[in-house]
Copies of this chain bind each other. A is one copy, B any other.
Amino acid sequence: MKRYQRAALIGTGMIGGSLFSALKEAGAIAHAVGFDARREVAERARSLGIVDEVAASIAEAARAADLIVLAVPVRATESICEALAPALSPEALVTDVGSTKREVLLAVFRALPFPERFVGAHPIAGTERSGPEAADRALFSGRRCLLTPAATTRPEALADCIALWEKAGARVEQMDAAHHDRLLARVSHLPHVAAFALAAAVGRAETAGISAGGFADTTRIAASDPAMWRDVLLANRDEVLLALEALDEELGALRRAIAGRDGAKLESLIARAKESRRRVIDPDSEGGGR
């Protein structure tokens, strides 16, 4: 595969850091330049060997780069594309790692001079940790990476982007950006909203250090970065609101069965939830036993 002579990482946090660590390890990057809105974060990424050089500006990072990876909160995409624009080489591959894809695509079309060289990407991996210290070059190994090319995307940019993520160990799948956002609203954004609400509701009462019955697991993702999740939820607002309606309906059905002491209904709702979870996690399995 292609070896990038000068790869720019905009946003040197956990996700971007993990990607660049993997790509450097795989020999896919000759020289890596990092930029972060908080310069000390970029300096930490350099001291960890994630990038070789810290750029003072986005334009400086982008200049002469043949690969540019945006690993920033999705809401920052447009202003970063504007800052990239004057320095962008027509041959550079531009990709991102954002959790929503329609907003990113709109920002790219508005602000990038060569949007046909941009390929949106969303690696389905991550932890609630953040910062370059949490970067892990094996983070994407065996995990899916969803690419959302637009109708105007150049085939060679798409091919390069597929090769890039495969080099990082990911299993690449392609889908439409709108479909991506609808899907992620369900499988990721809604669980986050539920975890935020649950953590806050439980925390209202004095819990005496007893956190039983899966509270820690159920709210693990509530420990995620607030600014990042603010952006994700707003960027995917319409789909998230639809998903929240579905959650409300399910909570309402459970509440009615509990309030009405309807044991048969309650058991069937719980059994359905259990089966639903199994199907979401492993759609190829046959089900059957409890």
Interface residues of A (CB under 8 A from B): 99, 124, 126, 128, 144, 146, 182-184, 186-205, 207-227, 229-231, 233-234, 237, 240-241, 243-244, 246-251, 254-255, 258-259, 261, 263, 266-284, 290
Contact = CB atoms under 8 A, between A and B. Distances in A.
A266 to B, nearest CB: 5
A126 B191 contact: no
B216 A218 contact: no
The copy count of this chain in the complex is 2
Given A201-B249, A226-B271, A280-B203, A191 B210 contact: no
A222 B217 CA distance: 11
A212 B188 contact: yes
Q: Which of A195, A218, A223, A229: most chain B Cβ within 10 A? A: A218
Residue among A202, A243, A274 with most chain B CB within 10 A = A202
B205 A267 contact: no
B223 A278 contact: yes
Contacts of A259: 237, 241
Given A188-B213, A217-B218, 12 more contacts: A183-B205, A184-B212, A191-B218, A197-B254, A200-B276, A202-B277, A203-B273, A203-B280, A211-B280, A213-B221, A234-B266, A240-B258
Contacts of A191: 198, 202, 213-215, 218-219
B214 A221 contact: yes
Contacts of A267: 226-227, 230
Given A187-B213, A188-B214, A246-B204, A234 B222 contact: no
Given A216-B281, A218-B220, A241-B258, A269 B187 contact: no
A210 B254 contact: no
Nearest to A267: B230
B186 A126 contact: no
A231 B261 CA distance: 10
13 contacts: A187-B202, A193-B251, A195-B218, A196-B274, A200-B250, A202-B280, A203-B273, A203-B276, A203-B279, A222-B277, A223-B277, A226-B290, A247-B251
